[in-house]
Amino acid sequence: MRKVIIMFTLAMGIATANAQENVTVEQNNGSNEQPTLTKEVYPQKEADGDLYHGLSRKLTFDRMIPPHGLEVTYDKTVHVIFPAEVRYVDLGSPDLIAGKADGAENVIRVKATVRNFPNETNMSVITEDGSFYTFNVKYAAEPLLLNVEMCDFIHDGSTVNRPNNAQEIYLKELGSESPMLVRLIMKSIHKQNKREVKHIGCKRFGIQYLLKGIYTHNGLLYFHTEIKNQSNVPFDVDYITWKIVDKKVAKRTAVQEQIILPLRAQNYATLVPGKKSERTVFTMAKFTIPDDKCLVVELNEKNGGRHQSFVIENEDLIRAGTINELQVR
The per-residue pLDDT for 325 is 64
Q: Are 95 and 117 in contact (CB under 8 A)?
A: yes
| pLDDT tens digit sequence for 177-230 | 888 888 889 999 999 999 999 999 999 999 999 999 999 998 899 999 999 999
Residue 188, helix vs strand vs coil:
helix
Strand order, beta sheet including 96-100: 96-100, 107-112, 78-81, 147-149
Confidence class for position 312, pLDDT limits 50, 70, 90: very high
At 164, is the pLDDT very low, low, confident or very high (cuts 50, 70, 90)? very low
At 21 the three-state DSSP class reads helix
Q: What is the pLDDT of residues 79-115, one digit of tens each?
A: 999 988 899 999 999 999 999 988 888 999 999 999 9
Which amino acid is located at 46 in the chain?
A: E
Residue type, 275: K
Contact by Cβ (8 Å): 318, 211: no
DSSP secondary structure string, 212-258?
A: EEEEEETTEEEEEEEEEE-SSS-EEEEEEEEEEEES---TT-PPP-E
> Phi and psi for 136 in degrees, rounded to 5?
-95, 120
Matching CATH number, 180-327, of 3.90.79.10, 3.30.420.40, 2.60.40.10, 1.10.4080.10:
2.60.40.10
DSSP symbol at 198 = -
Sheet holding 86-91, edge to edge: 68-72, 132-139, 121-127, 86-91
The reported pLDDT for the residue numbered 39 is: 44
Torsion angles phi and psi, residue 17, rounded to 5: -65, -40
**Higher confidence at residue 16 or residue 266?**
266
CB of 201 closer than 8 Å to CB of 263 = no
Average pLDDT over residues 45-64: 62
Report angle CA 104, 108, 114 to the nearest 5 degrees.
140
- pLDDT tops 50 at residue 27: no
Minimal CA–CA distance to 311: which of 201, 189, 164, 153?
A: 201
Cβ–Cβ < 8 Å for 288, 295: no
| Residue 103 pLDDT | 86
| Residue with more model confidence, 57 or 22 | 57
Q: Report pLDDT for 42.
A: 40
Fold of the domain built from segment(s) 62-169: Immunoglobulin-like (2.60.40)
How distant, in Å, are the alpha carbons of 58, 150, 202 from that of 51?
A: 6, 36, 67
Percent composition of the chain: helix, strand, coil (DSSP 3-state, to 5): 20, 35, 45
d(CA 49, CA 45): 8
Residues in a beta bridge with 311: 296
Neighbours of 104 (CB within 10 A): 13
